[in-house]
């Protein structure tokens, strides 16, 4: 899979891209992630990518030219290198469709995607109408830029690519797969002064009984904490 991220703040991705599951998946060649600095595509002699809003008001708006040229150049390069086109051109936006696990699973099956990070007040609406195929929000709150949302989405997408997590079962055991919260988890020691014992069933050595208990716990926690998931 190839993920191309367009941003005015490429430095924000540095640590994130080389650490943990995303870093490992890149090294293993499961995913190629490229960060593109939008300023490299502006034709403005002062390197600007934004301008004042028509109609007045405060804040700046990202212009069409750098974004359209950047996307066009990525499209041309992908066609030249691999003979492929992008399956999704995503814009991070608080008014987009809310990101969730099924969306992460779906996007992880695509071959090539672009994620465009907004900044300032956002992007010229004509880009959204002409070039963007998906608008995605990570929640009902406003951040200063689309970089954290792009990182959140990339992490969630990459960890469900087969092979990205060592024990391939682990991603399927996570919360929200099957619309269930994960069961409680424990590690050694089995007894810790002041914290008590781990549930005895986990020490019984019978994997079938343990899986049943985990499912029961998952159901109970979901019913209590997120009943909305069970009615979906």
Give the C-alpha separation, 2 to 108, whole Å. 10
Q: Among 10-18, 30-38, 135-143, 223-231, which window interacts with ligand SAH (CB under 6 A)? A: 135-143
C-alpha distances in angstroms, 157 versus 48, 132, 162, 172, 177?
32, 19, 11, 13, 13
Task: Determine, following the binding rule CB under 6 A, whether residue 66 of this chain makes contact with ligand SAH.
Answer: no
Task: Extract the tokens encoding 124.
Answer: 């010229």
Give the C-alpha separation, 171 to 162, whole Å. 9
Residues between 92 and 111 with contacts to ligand SAH, criterion CB under 6 A: 92-95
- Residue 183 near residue 218, CB atoms below 8 Å: yes
From the CB of 106, what's the least distance to ligand SAH, in Å?
17
E strand residue ranges, 31-122: 32-37, 50-51, 61-62, 88-98, 112-116
Q: Which residues pair with 98 in a beta bridge?
A: 137
Whichever of 66 and 118 has its CB closer to ligand SAH, that residue is 118
**Residue from 36, 108, 149, 154 in contact with ligand SAH (CB under 6 A):** 149
Task: Determine, following the binding rule CB under 6 A, whether residue 139 of this chain makes contact with ligand SAH.
Answer: yes
Task: Give Rg (Cα) of the chain.
Answer: 22
**Count of positions on this chain that bind ligand SAH (CB under 6 A):** 18
**Residue from 5, 127, 146, 171 in contact with ligand SAH (CB under 6 A):** 146
Give the C-alpha separation, 153 to 140, whole Å. 15
Task: Determine, following the binding rule CB under 6 A, whether residue 183 of this chain makes contact with ligand SAH.
Answer: no
Task: Extract the tokens encoding 7.
Answer: 């941003």
Mapped onto helix, strand or coil, the DSSP state of residue 37 is strand
From the CB of 149, what's the least distance to ligand SAH, in Å?
4
Whichever of 23 and 145 has its CB closer to ligand SAH, that residue is 145
Whichever of 122 and 183 has its CB closer to ligand SAH, that residue is 122
From the CB of 120, what's the least distance to ligand SAH, in Å?
6
Task: Determine, following the binding rule CB under 6 A, whether residue 122 of this chain makes contact with ligand SAH.
Answer: yes
Give the C-alpha separation, 149 to 88, whole Å. 16
Whichever of 15 and 139 has its CB closer to ligand SAH, that residue is 139
Task: Determine, following the binding rule CB under 6 A, whether residue 54 of this chain makes contact with ligand SAH.
Answer: no
Task: Extract the tokens encoding 135.
Answer: 């608008």
Whichever of 141 and 195 has its CB closer to ligand SAH, that residue is 141
Task: Determine, following the binding rule CB under 6 A, whether residue 112 of this chain makes contact with ligand SAH.
Answer: no
Neighbours of 93 (CB within 10 A): 20
Residue pointed to by tokens 């809310």: 98
Task: Determine, following the binding rule CB under 6 A, whether residue 119 of this chain makes contact with ligand SAH.
Answer: yes
Binding footprint of ligand SAH on the chain (CB under 6 A): 92-95, 117-119, 121-122, 137-139, 141-143, 145-146, 149
């Amino acid at each position: 899979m190839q993920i191309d991220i367009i941003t005015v703040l490429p430095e924000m991705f540095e640590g994130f891209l080389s650490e943990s599951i995303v870093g490992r998946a890149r090294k293993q060649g499961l995913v190629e992630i490229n960060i593109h600095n939008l300023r490299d595509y502006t034709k403005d002699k002062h390197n600007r990518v934004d301008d004042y809003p028509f109609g007045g008001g405060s804040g700046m708006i990202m212009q069409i030219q750098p974004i359209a040229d950047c996307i066009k150049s990525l499209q041309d390069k992908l066609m030249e290198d691999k003979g492929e086109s992008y399956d999704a051109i995503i814009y991070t936006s608080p008014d987009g469709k809310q990101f969730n696990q099924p969306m992460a699973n779906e996007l992880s099956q695509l071959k090539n995607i672009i994620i465009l990070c907004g900044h300032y007040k956002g992007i010229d609406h004509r880009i959204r109408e002409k070039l963007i195929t998906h608008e995605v929000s990570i929640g009902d709150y406003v951040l200063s830029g689309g970089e954290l949302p792009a990182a959140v989405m990339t992490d969630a997408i990459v960890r469900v690519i087969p092979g990205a997590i060592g024990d391939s079962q682990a991603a399927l055991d996570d919360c929200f797969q099957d619309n269930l919260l994960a069961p409680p988890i424990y590690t050694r020691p089995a007894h810790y002064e002041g914290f008590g014992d781990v549930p005895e069933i986990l020490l019984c050595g019978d994997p079938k009984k343990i899986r049943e208990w985990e499912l029961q716990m998952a159901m109970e926690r979901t019913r209590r904490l997120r009943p909305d998931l069970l009615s979906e």
